[in-house]
Each structure stands twice: as C-alpha cells, then as structure tokens.
Amino acid sequence: MKEISITTQFTVFDSVKELPKDVYSLMEEAVAIRKKAYAPYSKFRVGVAILLDNGQIILGSNQENAAYPSGLCAERVAVFYAGSIYPEAKILKMAITAASDTNKTTTPIPPCGSCRQSIAEYEIKQDIPIEIYFMGEEGEVNKSASLKNLLPFMFDKKFL
C-alpha cells in the first residue's frame, strides 16, 4: 500500500472588481445570463460565459425541468452549445456565477461533478487548459488555471 498526495492551486480574488478587465467583462455577462436562468424548483440560478479562441462569447444558464434528471446545468448548456456551433474553437476561459433566490451566496461555487466531467472532455480534446473563474452572487472569486485542479482524476477516452 502507498499513499499519494495531490495538490491543487487556485488564485483567490477578494471581489469581482479585482479581476483582469477581460475576465471582469466575462463575469458581468455570466451575471446577466444567470438572471435569466429557468430555476423554478431549486431557486438556484447559475450563469456561465465562455470565451473562445475565435473571440466569440458563449452564454449559458441552468434550465430545470419538473422531471429533475431532464434539466441541464449552465456550464453544460454553454459548453455543449460552443461545441456544436464552433466545434474547432478552443475554450480559453469560463466565468461562472451562482445565486439563490432564497439566500445570498457569498462563497465561490464551483461546477458540479457532471459539469466538471463535461468540461474535462473539452479540455482534453483541445489539449490546452481552460481557465475557470467561479463565484457566488458576491464576494470572493476563485480562479483555477485548469479543470485538472477541480477534477485531478479525470476520466477520459484513454480508459475506454
């Protein structure tokens, strides 16, 4: 038996105002689309803005359904849309923000496990890391230089 240790590294910004100008703009777009989320059941709204290497910005918000498994998280809405409209483009940066209709979210909220796996597929496919910035409604913003920080044991096609 042996033990392994995995270290991840994040950059923490005290507020959205500390972000680089381009990321600040991307996060503003994520906040705007978050407000358009369809979340009548969870009352938890998520918005995502993705910057592609062709300069396009793709937006996504969570879309719920009374049959819960049929809904889709904001991150996957945006990633799958980017992949279908711009299949050759690379995802450079993602800005993610989440807010609750019932209480203020002040802790950075990362993508869920399903979204991490979906983002991993694209990071592996494009062979360059995706910068991921995530926050709650207000407060600190966390930056991960790669999805690998959020999902160090990624499952990919080499296991198939």
The DSSP annotation for 111-137 comes to --HHHHHHHHHHHHHHTS--EEEEE-S
Could you give the CA distance from residue 64 to residue 12 in angstroms, rounded to a whole number? 30
pLDDT of residue 68: 84
pLDDT above 90: residue 37: yes
Q: pLDDT tens digits for 62-112? A: 999 999 889 999 999 999 999 999 999 999 999 999 999 999 999 999 999
21: which 2 tokens?
A: 């100008």
Q: Which two tokens stand for residue 106?
A: 């002040």
Which CATH class, in words, describes the domain spanning 11-150? alpha beta
| pLDDT of the residue at 120 | 96
Q: Sort strands 57-61 and 10-13 into parallel, antiparallel or unpaired.
A: unpaired
CA 64 to chain centre: 17
Whether pLDDT at 158 is above 90: no
Count of helices and strands (H, E) across the chain: 3, 6
**Distances in whole angstroms, Cα of residue 115 to Cα of each of 16, 48, 62, 112, 119:** 23, 12, 11, 5, 6
Q: Structural domain boundaries of the chain?
A: 11-150
Structure tokens at 74: 């904001």
For helices 113-126 and 74-85, give the axis angle rounded to 10 degrees: 30
Tens-place pLDDT, residues 114-151? 999 999 999 999 999 999 999 999 999 999 999 999 99
Per-residue pLDDT, 154: 86
- Give the residue numbers annotated as catalytic, written as ranges: 75
| Phi, psi at 30, each rounded to 5° | -65, -40
